[in-house]
């Protein structure tokens, strides 16, 4: 079955030594009383729930999968329902939710750490509450007071779960093509008719009601994305006292048989004059839904991070135990017939790649969670605006870079196990299968790359990117005269300069030919990802250098991993710089008929 131990030491390192979370929270009135001890206590308990309750269900849930019973009824794998009951009773759904609606009001940063553990222990299970949190955020931002009072407390408590119903069979990412229609009724509600596909957690047996957020068109809606409205459509219509009442005209038609995340029901959802209520303004549904979509994209990045961590833990344990051949420099375990495979350089390459990507991804995603807290809770308007811009800029990078890396790392973890990795009973092949969806849903990674270069960078003439660049410049300037930081600061300054030049070049070419931006988008995102990771590895190296004298081997390992990243992984950016500069011609010159 494998193992999962929450990496609390590294989590605490990022939270308290790199991000100084306690000091950051003191500047936010809503979180000023939260200290490091409280955060650690919450995460320790969260780790126990994830490792002791959820992780044991991961492999069995994958093997059993969800079952479509017919007539819209779906059952989840054995133990899922009981685990969800424990989750609700412990108050976990309310962790970072608004206290006005029954939430605990803890920072989003803390919730991000919890979500990493959920995804390491059981990604398929974690999607049920993860989507509910997104529905809660969208309703909180755009729901009427009446809708908030009726639905938000139920989502906060976990009594009901939520979904996002966007995709239709004839349109995936291009939501401007959707056909689901909404007819206004005299009582202020709408009758919604259509069909949605690929709806994660769209039907299950874990809660008494499911709240669907559905995109649809009004009768007089303009074409394209400017004619989309958002509606809340419950599985059961709430009664006057807020309990599930009459069955609504929304039903699961079937579930998908998938490559991975088999413990989560991916549903076809059919709406037949289903009663719904508008969320936000008419024809402004997409901006309202982006609250949930952006949250989901950050969540998917955490899925990539979580799977990288658990795959790394298991491949590391195997590499320390499995004996095969002798070290090239002589026996390292002379009392055994062969050495553990961790002595071999290529095995170390695979392990260190996982370790370097997961630890930088953790720092990056937690820092982004802190920016979300600043955006929502800091009293200074400029701080809120800067944090909002940084989150907007880097959301596609978190989603795409962390999931690309996650898929690479789960594959490397499987490779460490050799033939055993390919066999189901060891559990490693499940991580590869589960990780693969993360590159696809919530906007494929190609779409994320287009969003980054088109909307987030060129769309504002690089203003948001300049804000992140200033953080890097300030750090480089502060460390420039410290010889012990030269090996980290020089490659960081170098990639910062190259990002600036590359961005300007692409912008100039795209003004003459828009295809240039599209052609450069995917390699450009990889370059930006390494730019961000270089910044966080340099920051972590600075802390480790300061603490190295303590004698704690944790800091020695952190420095060794930082050196590995800059020596063996960051040079990938050079390849992508050249690929981005190669332009559109190699892609677009060939006639379609020649393919």
Would you name the residues annotated as active-site residues? Answer: 442
Q: How far apart (Å, rounded) are the C-alpha atoms in residues 456 and 505?
A: 16
Identify the bridge partners of residue 255 per DSSP, sorted by sequence position. Answer: 267
Which H helix or E strand runs over 406? helix 381-417
Is the C-alpha dihedral spanning 209, 210, 213, 215 positive or negative? negative
DSSP reduced 3-state for 196: strand
Neighbours of 230 (CB within 10 A): 33
What is the per-residue burial (b if ≥16 Cβ within 10 Å, else e) of 151-171?
A: bbbbbbbbbbbbbbbbbbeee
- Strands (E) located in 127-206: 161-165, 181-184, 190-200
Phi-psi region of 68 (alpha: psi -120 to 50; beta: other; left: phi over 0): beta
Contact 276, 189 (CB under 8 A): yes
- The H-assigned helical ranges of 418-485 are 428-437, 445-450, 463-479
Sequence-ordered alpha helix ranges (H) in 456-571: 463-479, 486-512, 515-547, 553-564
Closest CA to 158 of 83, 264, 232, 215: 83
**Phi, psi of 329, rounded to the nearest 5 degrees:** -100, 10
The three state secondary structure string of 3-23 is: CCCCCHHHHHHHHHHHCCHHH
- Tokens representing 568 are 């063996």
Question: Which of 476, 481, 482 is closest to 497 using CA atoms?
Answer: 476
């Amino acid at each position: 079955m494998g193992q999962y131990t929450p990496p609390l030491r590294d989590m605490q390192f990022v939270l308290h030594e790199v991000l100084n979370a306690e000091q950051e929270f003191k500047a936010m009135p809503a979180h000023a009383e939260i200290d490091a001890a409280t955060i650690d206590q919450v995460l320790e308990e969260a780790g126990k729930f994830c490792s002791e309750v959820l992780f044991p269900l991961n492999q069995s849930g994958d093997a059993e999968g969800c079952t479509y019973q017919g007539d819209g009824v779906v059952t989840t794998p054995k133990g899922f329902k009981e685990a969800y009951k424990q989750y609700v009773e412990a108050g976990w759904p309310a962790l970072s939710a608004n206290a006005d609606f029954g939430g605990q009001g803890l920072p989003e940063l803390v919730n991000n750490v919890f979500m990493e553990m959920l995804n390491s222990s059981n990604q398929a299970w974690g999607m049920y509450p993860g989507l509910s949190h997104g529905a809660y955020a969208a309703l909180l931002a755009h729901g009427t007071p009446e809708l908030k009072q009726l639905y938000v407390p139920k989502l906060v408590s976990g009594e009901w779960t939520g979904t996002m119903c966007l995709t239709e069979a004839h349109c995936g990412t291009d939501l401007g093509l959707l056909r689901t229609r909404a007819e206004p009724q005299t009582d202020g509600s709408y009758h919604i008719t259509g069909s949605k596909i690929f709806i994660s957690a769209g039907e299950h047996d874990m809660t008494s009601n499911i709240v669907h957020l559905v995109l649809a068109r009004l009768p007089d809606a303009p074409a394209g994305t400017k004619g989309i409205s958002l509606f809340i459509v419950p599985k059961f219509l709430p009664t006057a006292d807020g309990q599930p009442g009459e069955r609504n005209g929304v039903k699961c038609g079937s579930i998908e048989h998938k490559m991975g995340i088999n413990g989560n029901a991916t549903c076809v959802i059919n709406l037949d004059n289903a009663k719904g209520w508008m969320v936000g303004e008419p024809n402004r549904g997409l901006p309202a839904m982006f609250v949930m979509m952006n949250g989901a994209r950050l969540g998917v990045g955490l899925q990539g991070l979580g799977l990288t961590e658990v795959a790394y833990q298991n491949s590391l344990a195997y590499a320390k135990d499995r004996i095969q051949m002798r070290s090239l420099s002589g026996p390292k375990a002379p009392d055994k017939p062969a050495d553990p495979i961790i002595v071999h350089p290529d095995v170390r390459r695979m392990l260190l790649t996982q370790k370097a990507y997961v630890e930088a991804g953790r720092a990056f995603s937690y820092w982004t969670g802190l920016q979300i807290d600043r955006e929502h809770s800091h009293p200074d308007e400029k701080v809120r605006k800067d944090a909002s811009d940084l989150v907007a800029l880097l959301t596609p990078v978190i989603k795409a870079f962390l999931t690309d890396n996650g898929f690479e790392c789960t594959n490397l973890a499987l490779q460490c196990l050799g033939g055993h990795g390919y066999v189901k009973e060891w559990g490693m092949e499940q991580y590869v299968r589960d990780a693969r969806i993360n590159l696809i849903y919530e906007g494929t990674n190609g779409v994320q790359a287009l969003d980054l270069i088109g909307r987030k960078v060129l769309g504002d003439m690089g203003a948001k990117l300049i804000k992140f660049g200033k953080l890097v410049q300030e750090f480089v300037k502060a460390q420039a005269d410290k010889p012990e930081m030269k090996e980290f600061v020089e490659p960081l300054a170098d990639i910062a300069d190259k990002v600036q030049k590359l961005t300007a070049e692409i912008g100039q070419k795209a003004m003459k030919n828009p295809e240039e931006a599209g052609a450069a988008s995917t390699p450009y995102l990889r370059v930006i990802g390494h730019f961000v990771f270089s910044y966080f590895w340099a920051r972590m190296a600075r802390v480790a250098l300061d603490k190295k004298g303590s004698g704690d081997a944790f800091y020695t390992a952190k420095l060794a991993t930082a050196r590995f990243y800059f020596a063996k992984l960051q040079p990938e950016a050079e390849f992508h710089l050249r690929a981005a500069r190669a332009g559109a011609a190699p892609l677009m010159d060939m006639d379609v008929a020649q393919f």
